[in-house]
A and B are shown apart, each in its own frame.
Chain A
Amino acid sequence: MTTATLTPEEGTLATVKRGLRLSPELRPGLAGTLALAIVSMAGRVAVPIAVQQGIDRGIRAPGGPDLGVILIVVLITLATLVLSTTCGYLMTRRLFTVSETALGALRSRTFRHIHDLSMLHQQSERRGSLTSRVTGDIDQITQFLQTGGVMLLVTSGQLVVTTIVMLVYSWQLTLVVFAAFLPAAVVIRLFQKRLASVYRTVRERTGVLLGAVGEAVVGATVIRAYGVAGRTERRLDTAVGDLRSAQQRALRTSVTSFSTGELAAGLALAAVVAVGVWLGIGGNITVGQLTAFLFLVTLFIQPVQIATEVLNEAQNAVAGWRRVLDVLDIDPDVADPAERGVALPEGPLSVRFDDVSYRYPGGPIVLADVDQEIPARTKVAVVGETGSGKTTFAKLLTRLMDPTTGAVLLGGVPLTTVRFDSLRSRVVMVPQDGFLFDATVAENVRFARPDLGDDQLDLAFTELGLADWVAGLPHGVDTPVGERGEALSVGERQLVALVRAYVADPDLLVLDEATSAVDPATEVRLQRALDAVTRGRTTVAIAHRLSTAQAADEVIVVDAGRVVQRGPHAKLVQDPESIYAKLYASWLEQTRS
């Protein structure tokens, strides 16, 4: 992880700069969009100018109201309105096109990047929050850019243009208006900080609520089976109530801040009239100009008020943007060497663990001083008690993680130098939780090889002895498996996952308790079929069913993070005091008694 995630206090401007750097699509045409925004502003000041001109030259014309002059003023203003409306249209269109295109690209890039981060599969609890990086967070940015952003752009343009017009009419009154708004601006600025913190609380409590709802949904079965809905209900109620009170506090703060602007407006109107009359008596200002000023003050208030609203949204959006950028800033800890990398040598692969140790960052050592060589074409079983480090062994072997010290080599090549496209096509792991996508059985198998023909697909099931099983499904290979494969039983999911790995046709197959929920007869059948079809390749099976170990060429026994025994099953059981012999004895007791 880089330091980016450790600096939550990064300023808004810094985040926006960082964001613009990473989304260069946002920049081109920015000047054009700004120009359009300024022209579209002209429409708003056109009316006060028309009022001033109309009053001073038309209504108060010497000799009574001059309708001709007023008609000309009105027509010119109408033309200006048409022009500014057209520019407003073009600006919004541009803004949407540019921002959606840029943020769509950011979404896709972030999605791809997250898949490269090992925390995605290592820390499953972070999946939910990673999903919101490519959904809610980016939605917030786009929404801000388009509604808040447009308003901010339009209103700040309005502020500038209004100020210019006011200055042309009377610099003294302009100063008065600024003086009236200055205290409000200071107060509003102070409120921004409080708003940022109350809205942060709202976001956090939304997260807590989602967590509680998630538990009620995912744990529905357990909650029902134990009749403990009351407990979950209380948690949900607390989360719902906490969110509501946070929202209410945020609203109170926001309204107070908004009201400051309102008061400033009243103050400005009062001051402009008082000072304006005094100036008028001195002959420094006309009736039309003073009237126009009153109109301009309302144009001046709106941006300030809208800005306070929009800045709240902006805080949320910038926070979202920052979270997205922070994820993008995390370097993949297990990185693809890509072009700089090499391909694995052709043919069956040997495995070498060269003095490998692994510890989770800040955690205890889970695997220590592993120095093992697995020749090509052999079938090895890794056994050991729960928590002995055997799954870590599999993850290091497939480079889901890199060792803390030492190196893993496949076919003599250090894994860290192997290109991912070569690695992932030659080395396949079947995890215990054979995750299935919400699609049909066939589509799940084709995940490994999209070009697989129907005949080849059927052949794969037949070769693994699963043709009967698949024929017994309601729609054969076209049976939908449901979300996460939950329409199938746990054992059946493992069968599909195994076929999926098989059609990937790897040179090194790593099975991590891949058949733990399958019945013994099916497992033995599968094992036999796998033996036949993987002959001549290298297989490493992590197993707690010792039937797998018995069938392997060699067994590696892991205990408390160290390799304690190695050899064929028959040899290892000869020492009755050995860890393996004890494991085997209890296995026998369980399967034979």
Chain B
Amino acid sequence: MLGRAIRTEPRLFLVGAIGSSFFGLLVIVNSYVVGAVIGHVVVPAFAERRATAATLGLIAAVFIGISLLRVGTIFARRLGAGFMQFRLQARYRRAVTRRYLALPPSWHQRHATGTLLSNANSDVEAAFVPIAPLPFAVGTIVMIIAAVASLFWTDWVLALVGVTLFPALFGLNVVYSRRMSPRQIRAQQLRGRVSAVAHESFDGALVVKTMGREATEAQRFGVHVSDLRDALIAVGRLRGLFDPIMDALPSVGTLAVLLLGAWRLKTGDLSVAELVSVAFLFTVLAFPVRAIGWVIAELPRSVAGWERVQAVLDAEGDLAYGSASTPGRGPAGVVFDHVDFAYAEGPRVLHEVSFTVPAGRTVALVGATGSGKSTIASLAVRLVDPAAGRITVEGIALPDLSAAALAETTALVPQIPFVFDDTVRGNITLDRETLTDADAWGALRLAQADGFVAKLPDGLDTAVGERGTSLSGGQRQRLTLARALAGHPRLLVLDDATSAVDPRVESAILGALRDKSGSDFSPVRGGGGAEDGASILVVAYRRATIALADEVVFLEHGRVVATGTHVELMASVPAYRDLVTAYERAEAEREVNA
């Protein structure tokens, strides 16, 4: 992973690593300058009780000069590393979100919203956290090698202290990370769980409140909070144990240098300047050496984040598009041919479903709750592909159509409207370039939404807020209906798309759709005529809607049990009759009882 990161941003990495290496060398130079100043300037000056201003000025200039050079290397190191980290994060955020857009709805359904949010945000971030200290760590390794070399050049006994101390520090770091990583991974998992519980509980706030279950929810949340707390305390204890030891080790090194250095001084093998240099070196080296520890410590979290990011990037199940376009103009017919469907790891929900929506005609899907109507609607616009069987539009199998052809040909108005955090116009046109304001108003008129939109403070430019919360349920449904109509689809699929609309408004919508298209129940561009009409597949309960259909497909438990006109089915299919006349029968019974 780190290798890939370096290959992706080699220039920034080099800037950071070279900056960091020079920084390390300057640290060593600085130590030797300190030693030299003490040994060769301070000691003689104190002994002779005099010093020249020129010498002192030179020393001051050297210290300030080194300091300025160090600032330069700090800029190179930190900006190189930071920019590299941010660029990588941005690159992978783009890649992950591109996958989100490419993967099919069935994949999205299998993954919790919260998880996908954190994949794109905190997982990408975690994956590249070690990037920031990475050049520092590389520079530190250069520095240690240089330090050990300079130690041997100075005195082999003191060098032995170095070659004992640095591996010890490094080894301790490794042990620390090994023991820390399982604890941190656990804490991270628990953090995710706390977040998921909070997310869900707040999402269901209305139910929690109306059932008076706040205390139970708080308890449920509390259990996860305690688990997280205990996990984090476990992290803290380990840190408490290792951190002070790693802080103390370089000090022990300095003491060893003092003791052994004094001995070498006595035997005449070392000067005061050298002794002070080495002691100073050990003091200032302690901090950078820990940077390696930081990289190692962050690795497990980074690897976990990287794996989750990879899982998204490698996710399969793309509904790949073909290259075909839909032939002809005007309404497009659709044929379901022995279609089976099952949701992931679930039982079959559709069995050998076959029916036809002839071009320009309207077909109603009728069936009890849970009989598979919405699944058929999703299949018709290729939000999912069937497990077996074939669906064709104008004779072209849906998987053969290009993305553009599919989007231009079909439009689905789902049961639960989804409104973007955008203006009314943005929600209708979705930036489809061919759509004008006139298209938008035309579609709004058909959807009986022109009235309320005209009354909004900024008309088409009114922002509707995140998830359309400033609109009522019925208004949201009409807005999404307008979105579908604005694109002049050749096949319109309505999945109980007016359930939150009042009966009066609904009948006005249906009326408008019918009137506009002349005899057909189809939305049209401008003047109308078969050229511009649409075929319609509509999930319906209400008889007014069913009555508009040329044909009815009646479903039971995922099977087509009857096809025909409403009148035919009323006469020959008792289950169908029971379903659509439920209200009348209920009323009749009430009248009898009364």
Contacts and interface: CB of A to CB of B under 8 A. Distances in A.
* A, B assembled together: yes
Given A97-B236, A237-B94, A429 B283 contact: no
A255 B120 CA distance: 27
Contacts of A74: 255-256, 258-259
A122 B248 CA distance: 56
Contact of A386 (B210, B262, B415, B475): B475
A126 to B, nearest CB: 9
B499 A516 contact: yes
A106 to B, nearest CB: 10
Given A237-B94, A527-B586, A591 B483 contact: no
Interface in A232-261: 232-233, 236-237, 240-241, 243-244, 247-248, 251-252, 255, 258-259
Contacts of B68: 263, 266
Interface stretch (A189-197, A207-215, A310-318): A207-215
A23 interface: no
Interface stretch (B142-150, B154-162, B192-200, B529-537): B192-200
A223 interface: yes
B236 A92 contact: yes
A274 B70 contact: no
A266 to B, nearest CB: 2
Interface stretch (B103-111, B165-173, B391-399, B512-520): B103-111
Contact of A281 (B46, B87, B247, B579): B46
**Interface of A (DSSP majority class):** helix
A544 interface: yes
A199 B222 CA distance: 32
Contact of A89 (B42, B241, B280): B241
Q: How large is the interface on B (under 10, 10 to 19, 20 to 34, 35 or more residues)?
A: 35 or more
Interface string B49-83: 11100001101111110111011001100110011
Interface in A415-439: 420-421, 423-425, 428-438
A347 interface: no
A43 B373 CA distance: 74
Interface in B250-273: 251-252, 254-256, 258-259, 262-263, 265-266, 272
B200 A438 contact: yes
A255 B74 contact: yes
A338 B509 CA distance: 49
B120 A213 contact: yes
A582 B214 contact: no
Nearest to B33: A269
B179 interface: no
Given A287-B46, A428-B211, A520-B579, A244 B117 contact: no
B211 A504 contact: yes
Contacts of A428: 210-211
A262 B78 CA distance: 14
Contacts of B483: 226
Nearest to B223: A108
Contacts of B584: 591-592
Given A243-B90, A385-B502, A521-B582, A81 B116 contact: no
A425 B212 contact: yes
A277 B243 CA distance: 37
A591 B276 CA distance: 98
B388 interface: no
A461 B441 CA distance: 47
Given A43-B251, A281-B50, A259 B71 contact: yes
Nearest to A387: B472
B198 A135 contact: yes
Nearest to B37: A273
B105 A220 contact: yes
Interface stretch (A11-19, A63-71, A164-172, A403-411): A63-71
Interface in A304-327: none
A85 interface: yes
| Max chain B C-beta neighbours (<10 A), residue from A77, A92, A114, A492 | A92
A225 B412 contact: yes
A228 B407 contact: yes
Interface string B206-223: 111111111111100110
A519 B70 contact: no
B3 interface: no
Contacts of B383: 221, 224-225
Interface string B485-515: 0010000000010011111111100000000
Interface stretch (A368-376, A452-460, A545-553): A545-553
B525 interface: no
Interface stretch (B332-340, B351-359, B541-549): B541-549
A111 B134 CA distance: 38
B201 A135 contact: no
A586 B389 CA distance: 41
Interface in A37-86: 40, 43-44, 46-47, 50-51, 54-55, 58-59, 64-65, 67, 70-71, 73-74, 77-78, 81, 84-86
Contacts of A101: 229, 233
B370 A40 contact: no
B97 interface: yes
A34 interface: no
B49 A281 contact: yes
| Max chain B C-beta neighbours (<10 A), residue from A252, A487, A527, A544 | A544
A554 interface: no
A116 B507 CA distance: 41
Contact of B203 (A237, A435, A591): A435
Given A65-B265, A224-B383, A586-B507, A114 B202 contact: yes
Contact of B105 (A70, A142, A221, A244): A221
A528 interface: yes
A227 interface: yes
A263 to B, nearest CB: 6
A225 B407 contact: yes
A413 interface: no
B309 to A, nearest CB: 13
A582 B507 CA distance: 12
B474 A386 contact: yes
B504 A210 contact: no
A107 interface: yes
B367 interface: yes
Contact of B59 (A210, A273, A298, A435): A273
Interface string A93-108: 1011100110110011
A217 interface: yes
Given A78-B255, A84-B244, A593-B543, A240 B93 contact: yes
A161 interface: no
B135 to A, nearest CB: 13
Nearest to B66: A266
Interface in B98-151: 98, 100-105, 108-109, 112-113, 116-117, 120-121
B216 A386 contact: no
Nearest to A259: B71
Contacts of A436: 204
A46 B254 CA distance: 11
A524 interface: yes
A226 B407 contact: yes
Contacts of B259: 67, 70-71, 74
B244 A435 contact: no
| Max chain B C-beta neighbours (<10 A), residue from A259, A286, A436, A495 | A259
B243 A88 contact: yes
Nearest to B255: A74
Contacts of A298: 283-284
Contacts of A513: 500
Closest 9 CB pairs of A and B: A266-B67, A424-B212, A96-B236, A227-B407, A92-B240, A88-B244, A491-B369, A590-B544, A386-B474
Given A218-B113, A244-B86, 15 more contacts: A46-B251, A50-B255, A78-B252, A90-B240, A134-B221, A142-B232, A146-B236, A226-B411, A276-B42, A280-B46, A472-B370, A518-B369, A519-B368, A519-B541, A583-B502
10 contacts: A96-B236, A222-B414, A228-B430, A248-B82, A251-B79, A267-B63, A271-B60, A490-B374, A520-B541, A524-B582
